[in-house]
Amino acid sequence: CLQQIAEMSKATVHMKDPEHLEQILESIKDSGPNTLQVISDFDMTLTRFAYNGKRCPTSHNVLDNSKLISKTCQAEMKNLLNTYYPIEIDSTRSIEEKLPLMVEWWTKVHNLLIEQKIRKDQLTAVVKESNVILREGYQLFFHHLHELDIPLLIFSAGVGDVLEEVIRQAGVLHPNVKVFSNYMDFDESGVLQDFKGELIHVYNKREGALLNTQHFQEIQSRHNVMLLGDSLGDLTMADGVQDLQNILKIGYLNDKVEERKQSYLDSYDIVLERDESMDVNSLLREIR
Ligand code: C5P
Ligand code: MG
């Protein structure tokens, strides 16, 4: 059936093993929507990487670029981004090597954000004024999952309060959407004083997935997973799912395409190269 899906034959869509993929898709289709859960990353997976040639912000960047942050702090954040983002996407370094550096980046940024005394009631306006955009076709994606009662778990190393607000303002924060992310902890006057729980960065999603057993119990009967990510760290997001039967992994390759293409093809079933769409809708359409 893959061959009949027009969206899957676009030049930006790559598959290493279409036959294997076809089998997974058929198997999920046969089991039906009530056996499926969708586990997705947020930044640069559900949101656009670029629009009209310009980079779009991550949930952290929504804050970094906002009026809530002083000019000096903005400059510091930019320096950190210029230092650590190239490490995050460097295909010559191992994940082990990147881990402590990612913790360092996130910790520094969260401490800077705390120093800025951000107020909870300012977040709505900041998201409204930002350039963050969900991918083309997001309405269909969220509505389809809601309609069929398929849980959508968003597992993000971004800022939970910001990304929830992005989804709310887009009008698609349906009850089947569950978010695991770095949530802000506000004091009684509504000023940011800390971040809640364990830090989530791009390369420790597996630990988070395993910790979330309480949540995973709610969906124990859903042994089929559609996973969406843009980082190789996102591949472990389903590691907490018990008795996993089928997993269909869809990866957005947004940046450093030539260097990273082979590693993405080796680990994701479908690779979307510089593709700003939510054409996974065409696969979901098959699962009814
Ligand atoms: O939602 P997701 O897990 O993708 O969020 C993590 C992304 O946020 C990373 O890809 C990283 O590049 C980005 N990030 C950022 N600013 C930070 C920390 C992370 O833009 N201070
Ligand atoms: Mg991401």
ipTM of the complex model: 0.98
Per-residue pLDDT tens over the stretch 36-47: 999 999 999 999
Nearest CA to ligand 1 atom 17: 60
- For residue 194, which of 117, 121, 81, 123 has the smallest C-alpha distance? 117
pLDDT over 80 at 219, yes or no: no
Whether 44 lines ligand 1, by a CB cut-off of 6 Å, is: yes
Task: Name the catalytic one among 17, 41, 187, 279.
Answer: 41
Q: Which one has a higher pLDDT value, 7 or 220? A: 7
66 lines ligand 1 (CB under 6 A): no
| Type of residue numbered 279 | D
Give me the mean pLDDT over the 225-242 stretch: 95
Helix, strand, coil percentages (3-state) for the chain, rounded to 5, are 45, 20, 35
Residue 287 tokens, joined:
């699962």
Ligand 1: centre distance to CA 157 (Å)? 6
User: Which of the four pLDDT bands, split at 50, 70 and 90, describes residue 86?
Assistant: very high
Average pLDDT over residues 149-159: 96
For the chain, what is the mean pLDDT? 95
Residues with CB under 5 A from ligand 2 (ion): 41, 43-45, 230
The DSSP annotation for 136-175 comes to BTHHHHHHHHHHTT--EEEEEEEEHHHHHHHHHHTT---T
pLDDT tier at 90, thresholds 50, 70, 90: very high
Mutate which of 41, 44, 107 for ligand 1 pocket (most atoms within 8 A of beta carbon): 44
Contact 80/105 with Cβ under 8 angstroms?
Answer: yes
pLDDT value of position 216: 64
Calculate how far, in angstroms, residue 214's C-alpha sits from the geometric centre of ligand 1: 26
Active site includes 275? no
179: CA distance to ligand 2 center in Å? 14
Is 70 exceeded by the pLDDT of residue 213?
Answer: no
- Using pLDDT thresholds of 50, 70 and 90, give the confidence band for residue 161: very high
Q: In sequence order, which residues have a C-beta less than 8 Å from that of residue 48 and are 6 or more positions away?
A: 56, 133, 134, 135, 136, 276
pLDDT digits 0-9 by tens, 109-130 = 999 999 999 999 999 999 999 9
* Residue position matching structure tokens 């510091």: 76
Model pTM above 0.95: yes
Does residue 51 surpass a pLDDT of 90? yes
Q: 191 has which bridge partners?
A: 119
Cβ of residue 273 lying under 6 Å from some atom of ligand 1: no
The question of whether 185 is a catalytic residue gets the answer no
DSSP assigned state of 285? T
Cα–Cα distances in angstroms (integers) from residue 179 to residues 38, 51, 77, 117, 218, in the given order: 12, 25, 25, 24, 14
Q: What pLDDT, on a 0 to 100 scale, did the predictor assign at position 211?
A: 82
If you measure from the C-alpha of residue 228 to the centroid of ligand 2, how many angstroms do you get, rounded to a whole number? 9
- CA 82 to chain centroid, in Å, comes to 21
| For ligand 1, atom 14: residue with the closest CA | 60
d(CA 59, CA 38): 21
Confidence tier at 3 by pLDDT (50, 70, 90): confident
Ligand 2 centre and the CA of 201: distance in Å?
10
Helix (H, G, I), strand (E, B) or coil at 100: helix
229 lines ligand 1 (CB under 6 A): no
